[in-house]
Amino acid sequence: MTDIVVVSACRSPIGAFGGSLKDLQAPELAAQVIKAAVDRAGIDPAIIGDLKFGNCLEPPKALNIARVSSLLAGIPYTVPAVTINRVCTSAMEAIISGALQIETGFTDTVLAGGVESMSNVPYCVENARWGVRLFDGVFMDALTTGLHAGSHFYPHPETGKQYIMGETAEFLNDKHGFTRGDQDIVALKSHNNAERATIEGDFKEEIIPIEIKNRKGTSIVDADEHFRTGLTMEDLRNLKPAFKKDGTVTAGNSSGLNDGATAMVLMSLEKAESLGLKPIARMTGYGMGCSEPHLMG
């Protein structure tokens, strides 16, 4: 098996929903981390055999967002690029796909990563093209509709109803007996650890400052803003269930809506050594699995 190594990796700060990164479209955000990953690796971008980027909620203005982002980042047009959608694990799938290309000898260098700008997912009017002849059309929120995870077509097997992703956590709780307290403990540790790590500078090396240009000039975003500062268990206990009246999932212990991007350069060890590059990590394996869709599958 070909040894696969990571020669550079970086990410943007995680922006809150409607926060500091909302004025950057997804390809603009992705382009900055792609460029930074190439710069950190110290390579000629022309040697990249393929660029693979994960994205779930692809913007209509940038179909094959990987290609658009690549060109914005200054990658030569001769470098192919493809967008991969495995919903939550799209960026991970991009990395696995790139690793497989290196393993099989298709190429020795791949740039892989992912981007999501949930703040910029649009509203749209269904059936407006052909079906709205008289009266009003209704705006559909493409974000929350997308988070129903295909249940419009493949509903809950027992109830026959649609469900949103937050409800899949409730279904898991019902099946396995996870309590509100269990989830709040994990959430508190997560928020508190993120706050501590930010204060102590643990993320500084991996985060690249993101530039946002507007009529007033250029602003810089260089720190995560999605976690809640000073969060306590009492704060979490005071939150109401978000998805069902007697539920356990709240705005404090569930996954949030946010914006961000990440990128890394993968190489065969042989290629990295030939260029005199020092790997920062080695890829040793990967795997896949599924459960029933309504159980977060």
Q: Report which of 219, 294, 285 is spatially closest to residue 4, judged by C-alpha positions.
A: 285
Neighbours of 152 (CB within 10 A): 9
**The pLDDT of residue 133:** 84
**The pLDDT of residue 282:** 98
- Reported as a pLDDT band with limits 50, 70 and 90, residue 216 is confident
β-pairing, 50-54 vs 109-117, is: parallel
Full residue range of the structural domain in which residue 291 is found: 4-121+256-295
In a domain, 63, yes or no: yes
- Residue 294 region, left (φ>0) first, then alpha (ψ -120 to 50), else beta? alpha
In a domain, 160, yes or no: no
Q: Which of 280-294 are b and which e, b meaning 16 or more Cβ less than 10 Å from the residue's Cβ?
A: eeebeeeeeeeeebb
Q: Which residues of the chain form beta strands (DSSP E)?
A: 4-11, 15-16, 50-54, 81-84, 109-117, 123-125, 139-141, 210-214, 217-221, 258-268, 281-283
Token pair in block for residue 192: 């508190």
Mean per-residue pLDDT for 272-278?
Answer: 98
In a domain, 16, yes or no: yes
In a domain, 216, yes or no: no
Mean per-residue pLDDT for 271-282?
Answer: 98
- Reported as a pLDDT band with limits 50, 70 and 90, residue 174 is very high
Q: Helix, strand, coil: what percent of the chain each, to 5?
A: 35, 20, 45
In a domain, 132, yes or no: no
**The pLDDT of residue 127:** 87
Residues 6+ apart with CB under 8 A from 258: 14, 15, 16, 17, 19, 116, 118, 226
Per the structure, the count of domains in the chain is 1
**The pLDDT of residue 103:** 96
In a domain, 227, yes or no: no
- Strand (E) or helix (H) holding 229: none
What pLDDT digit, counting tens, does each position of 3-35 carry? 999 999 999 999 999 999 999 999 999 999 999
Whether the predicted pLDDT of 1 surpasses 80? no
Token pair in block for residue 51: 């660029």
> What does the mean pLDDT of the chain come to?
97
Mean per-residue pLDDT for 90-95?
Answer: 98
In a domain, 59, yes or no: yes
Mean per-residue pLDDT for 169-195?
Answer: 97
Specify the CATH number for the domain of residue 289. Answer: 3.40.47.10
In a domain, 62, yes or no: yes
Q: How far apart are the first and last CA of the chain?
A: 30
Whether the predicted pLDDT of 132 surpasses 90? no
Query: Residue 165 and residue 293: Cα distance in Å, rounded?
Result: 10
Q: How far is CA 208 from the centre of its chain?
A: 16
**The pLDDT of residue 266:** 99
